Amino acid sequence: MQKERVIVIGSGPAGLTAAMYTARAQLNPLVIAGTQIGGQIAITHEVENYPGFWSEEKTPTGPELVEIMQKQAEHFGARFEYDEVIEVDFSKGAPFYVKTYGNEYEADGVIVTAGASPRHLGVPGEQEFVGRGVSYCGTCDGFFFRGKDVVVVGGGDSAMEEGIFLTKFANKVEVIHRRDELRAGTSLQNRAFANEKISFVWDTVVEEIQGNGVVQGVQTRNVKTGETKKLDTDGVFIFIGHFPNSKFLVGQLAMDEEGYIITDERYRTSVPGVYAAGEIQDAHFRQIATSVGQGTGAAMELEKWLAAQE
């Protein structure tokens, strides 16, 4: 059993920030990073909306920003293990039990930053064109589609919010929805219907994303008539929901009906000594900057809690 002062589960912006802050506090954190460090920004082509990392000469890519964050955390003493947490036991309080595929740990404090994953369509071409026209974040990537035509898949609040946002850049936004009415709130629906750049393709699903190096179109099918059709487009924005990466925490921490960890304003979970930050507890903002702030808060609060135990 490997004993640790602090374990950070996850290596997205919240986890990397929590690692840096706890390392600067001389808590020698171990980050269980998963199989790929960085979370969702690791697959983001360019990052223009994180303050302080933009210039006219060069915009950092997601992987570049992750590398900088990791090196900064390591500079202060954070350690990284490329493994996945498969089991925890928080029921007895500290020290907390954490099991990965390769090891078992006991930790005096834990910060959970395992993030959330966008739901995928699961159609041919989707994975191939991630970062080349397929996106799950209009706020992140909309700027790259200035003057282009894009497709939005989904009919809920996120789809309408992001679709409306995309009209700031795109020439045309076609919303593809599998039903004949939206699930979004009335106010969002009214704004979308009133926007001249937005049109709707009802009762339709995307069956394939097509292109040559970059997205060039989607193959669709009407669920009522069975008619298939190809729509030309430069981008496909998919907003059919997110799911928190919290399966390994079921029964250990209080969660809402969707599986997001419930925290208070100090990022405390239902178990004293266990904190959560980033998208695993934030179903609303899902931005690099907000996750960084949440990781900061969780780390500062854990440091105080550990000092109080002494």
53 or 80: which carries more pLDDT confidence?
A: 80
pLDDT at 61 over 90: no
Q: What percent of the chain has pLDDT over 90?
A: 82
Average pLDDT over residues 131-139: 90
Selected catalytic residue, list 83, 108, 140, 234: 140
pLDDT digits (tens, 9 = 90+) for 6-46: 999 999 999 999 999 999 999 999 999 998 899 878 866 67
Q: What's the mean pLDDT when you consider all of the chain?
A: 94
User: Would you state the pLDDT for residue 241?
Assistant: 83
**What is the chain's length?**
310
Selected catalytic residue, list 141, 157, 232, 282: 141
Work out how many domains the chain is built from and give that number. 2
111 with 59, same domain: the answer is yes
- Rounded CA gap, 291 and 54, in Å? 19
CATH number at residue 204: 3.50.50.60
Q: Could you tell me the residue range of the domain that residue 230 belongs to? A: 120-238
205 with 66, same domain: the answer is no
93 with 132, same domain: the answer is no
For helices 13-24 and 288-309, what crossing angle results, to 10°? Answer: 40
13 with 67, same domain: the answer is yes
pLDDT at 179 over 90: yes
Which range has the worst mean pLDDT, 2-11, 43-52, 100-109, 148-157?
43-52
User: Would you state the pLDDT for residue 59?
Assistant: 78
Burial 206-235 (b: 16+ CB within 10 A, else e): bebbbbeeebebbbbbeeeeeeeeebebbb
139 with 166, same domain: the answer is yes
Average pLDDT over residues 45-56: 80
124 with 113, same domain: the answer is no
Q: At which of 238, 262, 283 does a domain end?
A: 238
Active site residue 282: no
Average pLDDT over residues 57-67: 86
103 with 144, same domain: the answer is no
147 with 190, same domain: the answer is yes
- Rounded CA gap, 298 and 29, in Å? 13
- Rounded CA gap, 289 and 107, in Å? 28
Active site residue 137: yes
User: Would you state the pLDDT for residue 45?
Assistant: 64
Selected catalytic residue, list 108, 137, 234, 282: 137
Active site residue 264: no
pLDDT digits (tens, 9 = 90+) for 208-221: 999 999 999 999 99
